[in-house]
């Protein structure tokens, strides 16, 4: 038996989550954001499962990720590259039929040069306008001049990105929607996309022609209570050793945890070398058959120690403890570690064996 940690990837759950998100749409289509190796879940297997279920619009960050999706799915789906094109990538976008997202004046000039010199983009291009994130995006103030410049070579999609969609009461959402409407008025016949995962739950005014959820596909984010999502993965690691420690003893590097009474511990084969954050030291939990076992002491590179007092009758070498999954929700574990679900799943290293079911 291997002593590696493992992530069981629940492809059926990811598909069900996509269908739940699709059901929120009054009209339009739900895409899938699969950048960063499908948020650590494995891009090839995830896109194949989603495509089989009917998803035919995918978003990645980099062109090489777009190539991965194209190899997996063939010629049919639309693949958007969020970070946009480099100046010498026109042949790649053409041969792989990738759709560049134009984010800056420099990229816009690159695109115009391509199109004016006979470059062909089979699936068109998208324009990204910055409505308040102040990260990537063309200025809203330039929308009129940009709209005039693309007459006769119009984009296939206009998009922007919400900064505070996970907080439905945040006034930034309404501000960005109004800014986006200012943009889309100049492109009345062009499809639009504003909603990320959190934006899907904000309602139809935010949906446009294409929503593009990411973390929600994998069971993360903060959906309304009546929209349950399923975990995209179960992260588990085997117990290597069980031991008893006496009151007054400590555990782990820097002796950060001291026991007030005699306690049973299990040492588990998982650590920050596998991508599980050190910030979960003395804060996070594992579960054994649903029974919570607190992390005690430092998370080290290869090992974590957990208090198995609640599960002593179950814990023994070879038994797997769960760190993300049905018994240990992704966002709860992330909050305990002082981070977000995105970081927990995308940070898992190749030492964690992926198992698809």
Instruction: Please report whether residue 12 resides in a domain.
Output: no
The average pLDDT across 170-175 equals: 98
Are 328 and 322 within 8 A, CB to CB? yes
Instruction: Please report whether residue 10 resides in a domain.
Output: no
Identify the domain boundary among 192, 218, 244: 218
The average pLDDT across 104-112 equals: 93
The average pLDDT across 106-126 equals: 89
Cα distance between residue 65 and residue 325, in whole Å: 26
Identify the domain boundary among 161, 192, 218: 218
Does one domain contain both 61 and 168?
A: yes
Instruction: Please report whether residue 124 resides in a domain.
Output: yes
Identify the domain boundary among 218, 249, 281: 218
Instruction: Please report whether residue 191 resides in a domain.
Output: yes
pTM equals: 0.96
Q: Is the pLDDT of residue 125 over 70?
A: yes
Cα distance between residue 81 and residue 73, in whole Å: 16
pLDDT digits (tens, 9 = 90+) for 174-214: 999 999 999 999 999 999 999 999 999 999 999 999 999 99
Annotated catalytic residue, options 178, 253, 262, 353? 253
Does one domain contain both 308 and 332?
A: yes
pLDDT at 26: 83
Annotated catalytic residue, options 35, 93, 257, 342? 35
For the chain, give the percent of residues with pLDDT over 90.
92
pLDDT at 199: 97
Which residue range forms the structural domain that includes residue 282?
Answer: 233-356
How many domains would you assign to the chain?
2
Does one domain contain both 238 and 100?
A: no
Q: What is the CATH number of the domain that holds 76?
A: 3.20.20.10
Average pLDDT, the chain: 96
Does one domain contain both 297 and 324?
A: yes
Cα distance between residue 86 and residue 76, in whole Å: 24
Does one domain contain both 108 and 201?
A: yes
SS3 274: helix
Instruction: Please report whether residue 337 resides in a domain.
Output: yes
Does one domain contain both 84 and 161?
A: yes
253 is catalytic: yes
Q: Is the pLDDT of residue 218 over 90?
A: yes
Q: How many CA atoms lie within 13 A of 308 on its CB side?
A: 26
Does one domain contain both 186 and 291?
A: no
The average pLDDT across 154-175 equals: 97
Nearest by Cα to 324 from 252, 181, 219: 219
Any residues with CB less than 8 A from the CB of 140 and at least 6 apart, and which? Answer: 129, 130, 131, 179, 182, 183
pLDDT at 4: 96
pLDDT at 36: 98
Are 305 and 284 within 8 A, CB to CB? no
The average pLDDT across 287-293 equals: 98
Q: Name the band, by pLDDT with cuts 50, 70 and 90, for residue 87.
A: confident
Instruction: Please report whether residue 42 resides in a domain.
Output: yes
Tokens of 72: 């997996």
Does one domain contain both 211 and 337?
A: no
Q: Name the band, by pLDDT with cuts 50, 70 and 90, for residue 239.
A: very high
Instruction: Please report whether residue 7 resides in a domain.
Output: no
44 is catalytic: no
pLDDT at 31: 98
Does one domain contain both 83 and 176?
A: yes
Does one domain contain both 64 and 208?
A: yes
Q: Is the pLDDT of residue 88 over 90?
A: no
Nearest by Cα to 334 from 257, 230, 219: 219
Q: Is the pLDDT of residue 96 over 70?
A: yes
pLDDT at 179: 98
Q: Is the pLDDT of residue 1 over 70?
A: no
**Which secondary structure element, helix H or strand E, spans residue 53, and what is its range?**
helix 43-53
SS3 108: helix
Does one domain contain both 208 and 309?
A: no
pLDDT at 118: 76
Nearest by Cα to 67 from 102, 106, 39, 93: 93
Are 95 and 104 within 8 A, CB to CB? no
- Residue 91: other Cβ atoms inside 10 A: 9
Q: Name the band, by pLDDT with cuts 50, 70 and 90, for residue 63.
A: very high
């Amino acid at each position: 038996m291997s002593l590696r940690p493992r992530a069981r990837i629940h492809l059926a759950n990811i598909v069900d989550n996509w269908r739940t998100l699709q059901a929120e749409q009054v009209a339009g289509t739900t895409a899938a954001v699969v950048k960063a190796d499908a948020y650590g879940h494995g891009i090839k297997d995830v896109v194949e499962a989603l495509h089989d279920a009917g998803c035919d619009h995918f978003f990645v960050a980099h062109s090489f990720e777009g190539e991965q999706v194209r190899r997996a799915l063939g010629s049919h789906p639309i693949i958007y590259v969020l970070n946009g094109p480099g100046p010498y990538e026109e042949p790649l976008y053409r041969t792989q039929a990738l759709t560049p997202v134009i984010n800056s004046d420099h990229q816009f000039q690159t695109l115009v040069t391509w199109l004016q010199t006979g470059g062909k983009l089979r699936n068109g291009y998208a324009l990204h306008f910055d409505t308040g994130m102040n990260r990537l995006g063309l200025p809203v103030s330039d929308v009129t001049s940009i709209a005039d410049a693309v007459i006769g070579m119009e984009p296939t999609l206009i998009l922007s990105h919400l900064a505070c969609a996970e907080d439905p009461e945040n006034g930034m959402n309404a501000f960005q929607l109004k800014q986006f409407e200012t943009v889309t008025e100049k492109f009345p016949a062009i499809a639009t996309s504003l909603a990320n995962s959190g934006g899907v739950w904000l309602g139809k005014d935010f949906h446009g022609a294409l929503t593009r959820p990411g973390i929600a596909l994998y069971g993360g984010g903060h959906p309304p209570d009546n929209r349950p999502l399923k975990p995209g993965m179960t992260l588990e690691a085997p117990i290597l050793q069980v031991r008893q420690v006496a009151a007054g003893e400590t555990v782990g590097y820097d002796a950060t945890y001291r026991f007030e009474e005699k306690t049973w511990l299990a040492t588990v084969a998982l650590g920050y070398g596998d991508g599980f954050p050190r910030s979960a030291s003395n804060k996070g939990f594992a579960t054994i058959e649903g029974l919570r076992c607190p992390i005690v002491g430092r998370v080290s590179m290869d090992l974590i120690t957990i208090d198995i007092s609640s599960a002593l009758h179950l814990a023994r070498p070879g038994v797997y403890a769960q760190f993300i999954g049905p018994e240990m929700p992704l966002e709860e574990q992330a909050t305990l570690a002082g981070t977000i679900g995105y970081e927990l799943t995308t940070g898992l290293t190749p030492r964690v064996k992926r198992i698809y079911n």
